[in-house]
Amino acid sequence: MILNLNLLKLLFILVPLFCLVRLQETLLLDIIGENIKFTDASEVFPTIERRLRGKKVLLVLDDISNDEQLDSLAGNHDWFGTGSRVIITTRFPFLLKFHGVHHQYKLELLHEEEALELFCWKAFESRDVDPIYMELSKSIVRYTQGIPLVLELIGSGLFGKPISEWKYIFDSYLSHGEDDQSIWRLLHKISYEGLDDDVKTVFLDIACCFNGYKVDFLTDLFLNARGFSPTYALQVLISKSLIKIDGGVVRMHDTVQMIGRSIVKEEPPIEPGKRSRLWYYEDILDVLKNNTGGPAVEIMKIDLPKDKQVLWDGNGFKNMENLKILEIINARFSEVPKIFANSLKVLNWKGYFGGANQ
């Protein structure tokens, strides 16, 4: 989003963990109006520094989670002109210290009255609470400790449910005690277990592999690979505050993403080759090297660090009889793939590097 305020330009970027080069291209497009495409990584930083120097900007980077994101989008203070401001939101304040941020502000949690109002908008679509729900609503608000995202998720998940179900869900999780994991069990119960099967599929696919993707791309992907349109599922996930759609792109908060990924990691926890979705590169390297991928695997997304390579005999996909989607973003292979499962519906390979010498 760009607001022309004389010499001041405002750019707001949500920063999930996907291709930073695309975000760097967006940075230049929105600030200077030039659609620059980078083909050589060594060109990126000098180009950004050269094109933005002297520009007075207000840059807002939301939900930063690692130093690579900061280095890529606001690498040096002299990238921008005098009077520029960079505002960063993050759950990891040590990143700000390492990046030389001058001023830090810790966001206060909502007071009980504010938290109750937010909860009510999600649970009742009104700021007013039905009297029979009042005490239980206050108990839930206190339980969430005023965390806005948790209030939204729990409120959205309870919307339309009778008070008897509210009591059952809340009491069952209070019985676990208020340990560090109890609130995540409650979110799991409310946010995920009540979804229809197709909606669960879309939720887990986005959480594990497709957060930050365009809606049009996801629609084509699901029609081809899953055999159904995700439109209804996306609407349900939006209504439950599990995703948002911003500028035609599906966004899932990293806390919600963590819930989805934790569900898949339990499928089982110690045998990645028996899980439905694989995205973590160390699990993928192990599965392909040892040919342990089995019929449970439906989606694999390969995005390796530059210093990693798939060391295998080329047969790692052979036993994945239900593999439907294979996306390869960045990977080098010691051998070319020798066989793919007949079930494969979508192969999205962004740059092929195969063979021992490549």
Sort strands 8-14 and 4-5 into parallel, antiparallel or unpaired: antiparallel
Task: State in words which class domain 197-260 has.
Answer: mainly alpha
Closest CA to 58 of 38, 86, 95: 86
* Structural contact between residues 312 and 335, judged by C-beta atoms closer than 8 angstroms: yes
Contact assessment for residue 58 and residue 8, using Cβ atoms and an 8 Å cutoff: yes
350: amino acid identity, one letter: K
Which residues on neighbouring strands pair with residue 310, listed in sequence order? 333
User: pLDDT (tens digit, 9 = 90+) per residue, 34-47?
Assistant: 777 776 666 777 77
Cross-strand bridge partners of residue 346: 325
* pLDDT of res. 39: 63
Per-domain residue ranges of the chain: 4-98, 112-191, 197-260, 268-349
Which class does domain 4-98 fall in? alpha beta
- What would the DSSP string read from start to end of 117-136? HHHHHHHHSSS---GGGHHH
Output the pLDDT for position 117: 93
CA nearest neighbour of 133 among 164, 175, 169, 157? 164
Identify the pLDDT of residue 6.
Answer: 34
Residue 319: which of 346, 336, 299, 342 has the closest Cα?
342
pTM of the model: 0.73
Cα distance from N-terminal residue to C-terminal residue, the chain? 40
The low-confidence residues of the chain, meaning pLDDT below 70, are: 1-20, 39-42, 173-182, 351-358
Residue with tokens 């600030």: 31
